[in-house]
Amino acid sequence: MICLLALIVFGFLGIFSLKYRVIALEALDCVFRRVTLRKCDTGLDQRLKSQITGNLMRRNPGVGRFMFKHFEVISWFFTILLVLSLAQSGLGIYNFVAYGNCNGKGSDEFCIFDPLSTRNNQDSSTQLLTQCTVEGVEANPENLIKPEIGASARFGNKDAKVTIIEFGCYTCPYTKQAEGVYEKIRNDFGDETLFIYKNYPINTHNNSYQAAIAAECVRIDKPSEFWAYHKALLENEGELTNNTIISLVEQTTSVDIDSFNLCFSEGHTENLVKKDIRAGEKSFIYGTPTLFINDEALVGPKTYREIKKIIELELKK
């Protein structure tokens, strides 16, 4: 099967040189004849065998004789090795496209297609970001206390060993920045974790409180459609007005718009938002987003890899 190896090697080299293109075509003809159980009559296989073994003979006669005697078996060995390598590369490319890592779902091992791990990190620039700060609260991570789950929005397994609680603000750019990582965490660990979202609108941000009330109106009406609306609000973080908040309901959910308008305009879910805010105050939240993974608190956007490692450690306990 030396002709198959020659076809691949010279086919690649033929991109850059006409000389190699001629050899590649000759190799193609040889491979076709071998596949159809006919003898290769171009002589390419014999010429390659003579050139390879001849060069080895000059350097090491013993190795050259061994190669000449077992040339067909050795050719098959390298052909199989090449096919397996191509298959592994193809699988790696598929995993990279599907999961962001060439080693498969949930892996954080080195990936040759992404040496800087930019896909797993979602956006490496998030490491440079801080958080939207809450006025009048000391920024001390040691003061943070994990809150009760309460009746807040949830995703995942209610009996999970790992509980993740996020305090976020719909008009905070850092909450928006972190959402891509959190969404991937929910998708990848949905069966092993319970993800909770608590509203913590920053009082200096326009329309953050209104957006939280709207999100709760959607959740109460259509719990299964909350996360789609949640994502839409964050994607439009810098452009939220009452009109935008309402139009996003129509675009992303099947909630009856008249029922929503009544809930939103009369603040039917305001008490739910206030409960989340009180929970945040008791937890000494000083910035959004703040994430609790069981008892460990993280403030500001973090990479997928950082959060994944903490979750995996908690799952092993």
Amino acid at 182: Y
Which tokens is 142 given?
Answer: 């040691």
pLDDT digits (tens, 9 = 90+) for 19-67: 778 777 877 877 777 777 777 776 777 777 787 788 888 888 888 788 7
What pLDDT is stored for residue 22 in this prediction? 78
Domains of the chain, by residue range, sit at 2-99, 129-316
Q: With beta carbons less than 8 A apart as the criterion, state whether 263 and 220 touch.
A: yes
Q: With beta carbons less than 8 A apart as the criterion, state whether 155 and 183 touch.
A: no
Q: Is 214 exposed, middle or buried (0-12, 13-18, 19+ CB in 10 A)?
A: buried
Specify the higher pLDDT residue, 203 or 143. 143
The answer to whether residue 211 scores a pLDDT higher than 70 is yes
**Mean pLDDT of the chain, nearest integer:** 85
What pLDDT is stored for residue 129 in this prediction? 43
pLDDT digits (tens, 9 = 90+) for 233-287: 999 998 999 999 999 999 999 999 999 999 999 999 999 999 999 999 999 999 9
Which residues sit opposite 293 in a β-bridge? 164, 296
Task: Give Rg (Cα) of the chain.
Answer: 30
Helix axes 173-189, 226-235, angle to 10 degrees: 150
Question: 129-316 in CATH: which number?
Answer: 3.40.30.10
Q: With beta carbons less than 8 A apart as the criterion, state whether 131 and 174 touch.
A: yes
Angstrom distance (rounded) from CA 179 to CA 238: 15
81 Rama class: left (phi>0) / alpha (psi -120 to 50) / beta: alpha
Residue matched to tokens 């979750």: 311
